[in-house]
Amino acid sequence: WLRPFWSISLAAHTPLSQPAWRLRRLPSSAMAAPQKPENALKRAEELIDVGKKQDALDTLHAAIQHRKFRNLWTTTIEQIMVRHLELCVELKKMRTAREGLYQYRTMC
């Protein structure tokens, strides 16, 4: 028999019950990747100009990981990758750089 919904404990469903490695930092710009790679690069440059390098890195990383651009290699994707690596080195995010390089390798 089913328990009534008001007797179900919500403590198990709170974000704090998740392990720390499961909590991801969402970029403040937008979680969805832009429709075009050019827009992702432009948005990242705007964020860098404002001083939000981590958000710019998150935007570029989302564009690289996006399944729509996965099999598409263009010079814009190459520029995104170069900028992505520059930001990873500045922010000392080597794991993010490695993930981006793996994704770029499968594109080419």
Q: Among 6, 8, 14, 93, which residue's Cα sits nearest to residue 57?
A: 93
The whole model's pTM is what?
Answer: 0.66
Pair of tokens at residue 95: 């794991």
Residue range 7-18: mean pLDDT, rounded: 53
Average pLDDT estimate for 3-22 = 53
Would you state the structure tokens that stand for residue 50, as one six-digit string? 């404002």
| Percent of the chain clearing pLDDT 90 (strictly above) | 38
Tokens found for residue 102: 């793996």
Alpha-carbon torsion (80, 83, 89, 93), positive or negative: negative
Which residues, in sequence order, are CB contacts of 86 under 8 Å at separation 6+?
Answer: none
Give the pLDDT score at 29.
45
Question: Which token pair is 10?
Answer: 């919500």
What is the length of the chain?
108
**Rounded CA separation 104/25 (Å):** 23
